[in-house]
């Protein structure tokens, strides 16, 4: 099965590499896996072939950390672009491998930004400049990667797998299908999005390119739905119970059993009992009639489960307990689950996302090649910490970075913040202490991240197959 990579959701959630010492075992479902990367040679000066050969060696070394078999790394060139194909015997979960292979930078020092007042206009201007470059035939995915590398906090790239229109983000689901294969939408698209339900909305600017589209069969699964009425007996302390509710939980349980017995004996019908006893005042006068069907997740989990177990009209459930109290549920209509097959258009496309928000960190010149050594030391309580010794150039850079008391510096591995500290004095010995590890295993994992050899050329994963 072959699929394209969806690189990141715009939820702006940063995933972290769990370390080279991950406990990964061989899969019982052993098969060959292939990852295809595009190599970013933009503005590279020097011997390109040597850099590409070095890149293949570094990727091979990183794969060797997982002790997987049948590793094959090859280079191809198409339309003046260079690609690296990585094949290997896969394991059940290859996420850690992909994270490790794609980690372009392994150590950097960043400085906390305290003021960036005009960030929205600057980011939109950046997006518009990139769009113009792409219109002038600059490679879309390399342009995306360059912007991500320059501003990883706010720029994200996603290459979407084949998707139907109703699966695509509302901001550009119509736009995608207006484009021809290989075409870029001619304007920067602006919209707002919430990273999660209760978060404040974030303004987003985006550039969209359609790679290809086709007609395909879409199987739409329609779940079982149950249209129901109910009787609720609440008790003091139950969720949303009225202030007038004084009965105890035990009294509520006794009452719902009495109501159930009346239904079973046929001495009263459901609607009359709902009117007389139900504490759901929004519908007790209508016989407990609920507007929306169960089966869409609109009700408490226990309520939904019991409602969907009903199979016949007028069937009444056993007593159901939810955080709201005790319920009896009556089926009014049952819609059985079914599948529907429709012919619909699918598209595979890429989106560069620009989050219009202030940046938290700015990159400095202090990077991984300035590390001379990293040691694990222990205090009197045998708690570990890491000591990073920088070379002479790194020592000078660190001294310059720590001249202003109050500045906040962060130690990063890739985009992952390892630790941060407030500058209290000039550090002129080239030594950084990382106090974050809580045990020796975590210290070793952090050390592995920081000592990992950097990729000589940036790469971006564009295709995956198995």
Q: Which residue in this structure is represented by tokens 């394209």?
A: 4
Which residues share a beta bridge with 156? 353
- Structural Rg of the chain based on CA atoms: 30
Integer Cα distance of 327 and 238 in angstroms: 13
Predicted local confidence at residue 9, as pLDDT: 36
Helix, strand, coil abundance in the chain, percent, nearest 5:
25, 35, 40
Q: Which parts of the chain sit beneath pLDDT 50?
A: 1-28
At residue 92, the pLDDT reads 57
Question: Is the whole model's pTM more than 0.85, yes or no?
Answer: no
Q: Which two tokens stand for residue 56?
A: 């293949």
**What confidence score (pLDDT) does residue 93 get?**
67
DSSP letter for each residue of 21-62? T------SS--EEEEEEEE--TT--S-HHHHHHHHHHHHHHH
3-state secondary structure of 388: strand
Helices 140-150/119-135 angle, 10° precision? 160
Q: Count helices and strands (H / E) in the chain.
A: 10, 20
Place of tokens 């035939």: 137
- For the domain covering 361-451, report its CATH number: 3.30.1360.200
Q: Tokens 């280079």: give the residue.
A: 75
**String of DSSP letters for 333-352:** EEE--EEEEEEEEEEEEEEE
d(Cα 208, Cα 350) in Å, to the nearest integer? 6
Non-local (6+) Cβ contacts of 258 within 8 A are none
pLDDT at 158: 85
CATH 3.30.70, applies to 2-102: yes
* d(C-alpha 191, C-alpha 178), whole Å: 18
Q: Tokens 């939810």 correspond to what residue?
A: 322
Domain map of the chain by residue range? 2-102, 128-137+147-221+342-355, 229-329, 361-451
CA–CA distance, 218 with 453 (Å, rounded to integer) = 45
Q: Is 275 exposed, middle or buried (0-12, 13-18, 19+ CB in 10 A)?
A: middle
Q: What are phi and psi of 292, to 5 degrees?
A: -85, 145
For domain 229-329, say whether CATH 3.10.50.40 is its number: yes
Rounded-to-integer distance, Cα 129 and Cα 135, Å: 10
| Tally of CA atoms within 13 A in the half-sphere of 301 that contains its CB | 0
Give start and end residues of each alpha helix (H) in 362-466.
392-401, 440-451
Going by the DSSP 8-state scheme, the letter that residue 310 receives in this structure is: -
Q: Rounded distance, CA 249 to CA 294, Å?
A: 25
Two structure tokens written together for 64: 């060797």
């Amino acid at each position: 099965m072959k699929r394209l990579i969806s690189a990141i959701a715009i939820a702006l959630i940063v995933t972290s590499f769990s370390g080279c010492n991950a406990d990964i075992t061989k899969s019982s479902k052993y098969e060959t896996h292939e990852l295809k990367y595009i190599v970013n040679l933009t503005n590279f000066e020097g011997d390109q072939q040597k850099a590409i050969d070095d890149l293949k060696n570094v990727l091979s070394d990183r794969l060797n950390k997982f002790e997987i078999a049948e590793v094959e790394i090859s280079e191809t060139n198409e339309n003046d672009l260079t690609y690296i194909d990585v094949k290997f015997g896969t394991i059940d979960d290859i996420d850690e491998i992909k994270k490790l292979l794609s980690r372009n930078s392994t150590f950097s020092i960043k400085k906390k930004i305290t003021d960036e007042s005009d960030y929205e206009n600057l980011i939109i201007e950046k997006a518009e400049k990139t769009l113009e470059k792409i219109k002038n035939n600059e490679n879309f995915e390399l342009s995306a990667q360059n912007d991500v590398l320059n501003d990883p906090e706010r720029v994200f790239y996603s290459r979407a797998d084949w998707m139907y229109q109703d699966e695509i983000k509302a901001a550009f689901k119509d736009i995608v299908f207006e484009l021809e294969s290989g075409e870029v939408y001619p304007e920067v698209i602006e919209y707002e999005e919430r990273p999660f339900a209760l978060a404040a909305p974030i303004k987003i600017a985006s550039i969209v390119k359609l790679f290809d589209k086709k007609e395909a069969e879409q199987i739409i699964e329609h779940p079982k739905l149950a249209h129901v009425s109910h009787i609720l007996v609440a008790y003091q302390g139950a969720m949303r119970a009225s202030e007038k509710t004084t009965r105890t939980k035990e009294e509520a349980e006794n009452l719902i059993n009495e109501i159930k017995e009346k239904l079973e004996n046929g001495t009263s019908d459901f609607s009359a009992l709902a009117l007389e006893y139900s504490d759901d005042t929004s519908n007790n006068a209508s016989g407990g009639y609920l507007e929306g069907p169960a089966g869409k997740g609109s009700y408490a989990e226990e309520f939904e489960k019991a409602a969907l177990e009903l199979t016949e009209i007028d069937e009444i459930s056993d007593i159901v307990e939810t955080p709201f109290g005790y319920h009896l549920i009556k089926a009014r209509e049952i819609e059985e689950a079914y599948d529907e097959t429709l012919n619909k258009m699918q598209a595979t496309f890429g989106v560069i996302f620009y989050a219009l928000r202030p940046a938290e960190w700015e990159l400095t010149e202090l990077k991984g090649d300035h590390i001379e050594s990293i040691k694990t030391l222990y205090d009197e309580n045998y708690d570990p910490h890491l000591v990073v010794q920088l070379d002479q150039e790194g020592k000078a850079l660190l001294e310059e970075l720590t001249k202003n008391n109050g500045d906040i510096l962060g130690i990063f591995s890739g985009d992952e913040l390892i630790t941060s500290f407030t500058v209290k004095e000039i550090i002129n010995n080239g030594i950084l202490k990382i106090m974050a590890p809580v045990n020796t295993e975590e210290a070793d994992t952090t050390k592995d991240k920081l000592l990992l050899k950097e990729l000589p050329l940036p790469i971006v994963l564009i295709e995956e197959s198995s």
